[in-house]
Structure 1
Amino acid sequence: MVEFFTANMAPMMFGALVLFLLMGFPVAFALAANGLVFGLIGMELGLLTPALMQALPERVFGIMRNDTLLAIPFFTFMGLILERSGMAEDLLDTIGQLFGPIRGGLAYAVIFVGALLAATTGVVAASVISMGLISLPIMLRYGYDRRVASGVIAASGTLAQIIPPSLVLIVLADQLGRSVGDMYAGALIPGLVLTGLYALYIFGTSIIRPQAVPALPLEARTLHGMKLFIRVITTLVPPLVLIFLVLGTIFVGIATPTEGGAMGAAGAILLALAKKQLGWGLLRQAMDSTAKLSSFVVFILIGSTVFGLVFRAVNGDLWVEHLLIGLPGGQLGFLIVCNILIFVLAFFLDFFELAFIIVPLLGPVADKLGIDLIWFGVLLGVNMQTSFMHPPFGFALFFLRSVAPKVDYTDKITGKLIAKVTTGQIYWGAVPFVIIQLIMVALVIAFPSLVDAGLDHGPAIDLDKVKIEIPSFEDDAAPPFPGQSDDSNNDIMKQFQQK
């Protein structure tokens, strides 16, 4: 029995973690407890030494000293300030008026604003809740199909997962040991393509089922001509300036992601001041939520560090490597299995948990197979988006359910009785967008240039033409060593040659 346990400690450790998670234990504590328990068992069996655990304090302090993780509270704070200062409401109202005359105009507005919010907030919860509160009642008022309306709101909110400055991209870059700026640059084009696929789905729906996405009636379009133009300019310019301030400075190398996040947080405060929405209540709520999310991330990271230390000590990384490298199909087989694994686990785990538990196991294998880790990280980020949209555990669906009407109500403007939005309608509305996200995963695999096009690879170098020349010195022409004259240096060279 002892021999069996010793030989199979790594798979048993991983199985125990899955069991703890399915039983509902908090992820951070399940990771840490699992690592400590199996560490003690390993020391009892003589597989590990007590000195292994002495590395834990230094690793925990290493997490605290990690400058990259500072970007998470900065971007979270920026997103919360912008969301609660009314920027989303202004954007949705203005873009809704702009696209109102065409079928599906409100849905296009939600997608476009979702992309803008993703590029300024980076927080899925803020995007989904704000758009659900503002746009869902309007879409129901003018006869939108409930499944289309709920699906497009939830899916557009998840664009904050892949469009920079995404929080999960920061974590993926940290776990894969790559630059956050490169991860942002690689994810930009796939994020924009995914936005376009959402819009294409609405366009197809407007042709096949025009009654599901009606245009705004004339009486609902209150802005026209120059008034609409001025409103669009004054509403769009501030967030676009903030996007350039944050992402532009990161992409051109002026600022690090942490510095960009700090500038973004300062810019969000200035925008809230300009709108006269900044107050102590808003600041307190934003700082409270930022502290909670940052603590959540750090605790999971500490737990995953404890688990990872023991897991590698019992050769768990080699166990995973042998499982995955031996797959048929080489790189393609590995990518297919990885994406199926992430897709299935996303039913039960959110993106932070996937990033801290699964990615450290897959990253080294991908590197050994010659897969670019920036491309691999973006691919996993696109796949992890589905964790927000999976019925029945998708967090975006939970966020939308919390703000969608649960009972029939009378609309204040039209006086009509509006039926409630059921949980089943929210779930079925999410299915087409999950399929679109999987199509995007396939596109990234089939066309790696979607990611590579955003990266600066530097000047091309032909290794076949590289020459390294080592000069040979004559006895009377040897260069002097530092601090010595030519004569003394030549004497040394002659003595060396005589020996």
Structure 2
Amino acid sequence: MISMLMFIVVLALLMVGIPVAFVFGTVAIAFAFLIPELGFDVFSVLPFRIYGIMSNTTLMAVPLFIAMGLVLEKSLMAEKLLIAMSSAFRTVRGGLAVSVVLVGALLAASTGVVSASVVMMSVIALPLMLRAGYDKGLASGTIASSGTLGQIIPPSIILIILGDVMSVSVGELFMGAVLPGLVLVGLYIVYILIFSYLKPEAAPVAKNVKEVSVMEIISAIVPPMLLMVSVLGSIFAGIASPTESAAFGVIGALLLSAYNRSLNFEMLKYATLGSVKLSGMIFMILIGATAFSLVFNELGGSDLILEFFSQDIGDVWIFIAVAMISIFILGFFIDFIEISFIIVPILVPVMHAFGIDPVWFAILIALNLQASFLTPPFGLSLFFLKGAAGDSIKTMQIYKGIIPFIVLQFFALMLVMVFPDLVFAFL
């Protein structure tokens, strides 16, 4: 039970707001020091584990995809896409919100960086939607949920992390996530259209949208589509590994930025420093989590959980339900990276014991983790949206608007549970 106490202490410290990597490392050292039969000898293999992390070719894709996303953030691609999509759907009631969802999907497939997508669309789309007379809850919910599509639509950083934690091919996770991601996009669009039909005053036809030509729409959509197809297509066709395609994606993002005449030294500096900071944070958390797992496993924590689910409960669907509910509840309070490094490694041995397909289970976790960006009170997308929107929208209006989209994510999760072929369609 000491291992469970260790787990509870980590969660408590995370909820207080102490940096994740320091929580993992400090708790591991403290418990190793306080338990005489354990001692610091447990960390003798830690340098080898860290070397294995730093030489992991799969994890090399993380900084590359982050760099690609940060370059595209400054490339004016989002602005052009939103103007083009808004013009294409300007005669449809709720069309502006639908265009935001489609742009969010394209940004997700191009960048995979949630913070960049939410902030970009908050700055560009929110004023446009409010001027058109959109309900503030619908507008904020649409933007926040569309911006988080980068969690499930590849290339997704969380899928790369889950692939490493669960020892699953990242390429298979990318292929498995395509259809569930498209299903989620479809659910968002159907909800918006139904809501607009039932409450016309909440989503009027956007008369203030600038009309652009067909050629302008094509020139805005085709370049990011080509980048998306080349990056993901090379992985799906087996031509390149995720790391190689990520490197190609960075080059493509730079070319796209040059095409949009936004390539300059300041942008390169921003993307480089941002990539180093975000990647450093992720790898520091991973090193801390490795120290934590060494002590946790030495105390018998993994064996205790495995015995509880496989022998005391013994039902695969109860295990899946408990796992999904636990991840969802923790998502209210802690970040998806923390959940990936704390909870998922504990669940993996039980998953293997029940014979659950790891790709399908990883996609379920990714869909669930996406909700952690949206769930009040600590959903990061809600913070990004509020920060970019300022006083134009109230926090409670954001919370109210996001609830239907969280329900839709639950519905998508249930669909993937009931119909596993949604994951295996492209495998």
**TM bin (shorter chain):** over 0.9
| Residue 307 (str. 1) matches residue 292 (str. 2) | yes
Match of 1:68 in 2: 58
In 2, distance between residues paired with 1:278 and 1:184? 29
The RMSD of aligned alpha carbons is 1.2
Does residue 157 of the first structure (1) align with residue 129 of the second (2)?
no
* Residues 1:128 and 2:118 are matched in the alignment: yes
Contact 2:328 2:369 in 1 (8 A): yes
Q: Distance in 2 between matches of 1:19 and 1:193?
A: 36
User: In the aligned structure 1, how far is the partner of 2:369 from the partner of 2:185?
Assistant: 16
Q: How does 1:106-117 map to 2 (within 5 A)?
A: 106-117=96-107
Which one of the candidate residues 334, 354, 358 is aligned to 1:369? 354
1:451 aligns with 2:423: yes
Q: Deviations over 1:117-138 (max 9, x none)?
A: 0000000001000001001001
User: What are the Cα deviations for residues 126-167 of structure 1, in whole angstroms up to 9, with x where unaligned?
Assistant: 100000100100100010000000000000001000000000
Q: Which letter does structure 2 place at the counterpart of 1:13?
A: M
Residue 23 of structure 2 corresponds to 30
The corresponding residue for 2:404 is: 432
Letter in 1 for 2:293: G
Q: 1:222 aligned to 2:211?
A: yes
- Looking at structure 2, the residues matched to 434 and 134 of structure 1 have their Cα atoms a distance apart, in angstroms, of 23
Question: What count of residue pairs does the alignment treat as equivalent?
Answer: 427
For CA contacts below 8 A with separation 6 or more, give which structure has more relative contact order: 2
Structure 1: state its 5+ residue gaps. Answer: 1-7, 407-419, 456-499
Q: Which amino acid aligns with 1:427?
A: Y
Equivalent residue number for residue 464 of structure 1: none
Q: Which amino acid aligns with 2:369?
A: M
Which residue of structure 1 aligns with residue 192 of structure 2? 202
Separation of aligned partners in 2, 1:164 and 1:83: 17
**Cα displacement string for residues 193-252 of structure 1 (whole angstroms, at most 9, x for unaligned residues):** 0000000100111111111111122x64433xxxx2111211111011101110000011
Partner of 1:103: 93
Deviation string 1:30-78 (CA, Å, 9 cap, x unpaired) is: 1111111112233x1x2x3654321011111111111111111111111
Structure 1 position 41 matched with structure 2 position 41: no
SS in 2 for 1:163: coil
Structure 1 runs (4+) greater than 6 angstroms displaced: none
TM-score by length of 2: 0.98
Q: From the CA coordinates, give the structure whose radius of gyration is larger.
A: 1
Out of 272, 279, 283, the residue aligned to residue 294 of structure 1 is 279
Tell me, what secondary structure is at the counterpart of 1:436? helix
Matches within 5 A, 1:90-489: 90-217=80-207, 220-223=209-212, 228-326=213-311, 328=313, 330-406=315-391, 420-455=392-427
Letter in 2 for 1:269: L
Q: Note the alpha carbon deviations across 1:375-429, whole angstroms, 9 max, x for none.
A: 10000000001110011110000000011141xxxxxxxxxxxxx3111101111
Following the alignment from structure 1 to structure 2, what is the Cα–Cα distance between the partners of residues 220 and 288? 36
Deviation at 1:319, TM superposition (A): 1.1
Q: Percent identity?
A: 46
Give the counterpart letter for 1:25 in structure 2: I
Supply the distance in 2 between the matched residues of 1:393 and 1:54 (Cα, whole angstroms).
37
Contact 1:327 1:333 in 2 (8 A): no
The separation in 1 between residues aligned to 2:26 and 2:365, in whole angstroms, is 27
Name the SS of the counterpart of 1:337 in structure 2: helix
Q: For the residues of structure 2 that align with 1:33 and 1:405, how far apart are their CA atoms?
A: 37
For the residue of structure 2 that corresponds to 1:385, the secondary structure is helix
Q: Deviations over 1:285-334 (max 9, x none)?
A: 11111111001100100000000011111111001112222464711111
Choose between structure 1 and 2: higher helix proportion.
2
2:402, 2:40 → 1: CA distance? 50
Counterpart of 2:2 in structure 1 is: 9
Normalising by structure 1, report the TM-score.
0.84
Distance 1:351 1:28 in 2: 14
SS of residue paired to 1:68: coil
Distance 1:208 1:275 in 2: 40
Question: Which residue matches 1:19?
Answer: 12
Q: Distance in 1 between matches of 2:405 and 2:125?
A: 18
In structure 2, runs of 5+ residues without a counterpart are none
CA contact (8 A) 1:118 1:163 kept: yes
Q: State whether structure 2 residue 68 is matched by structure 1 residue 78.
A: yes
Q: Read off the aligned partner of 2:398 and give its amino acid letter.
A: I
d(CA) in 1 for partners of 2:401, 2:20: 29
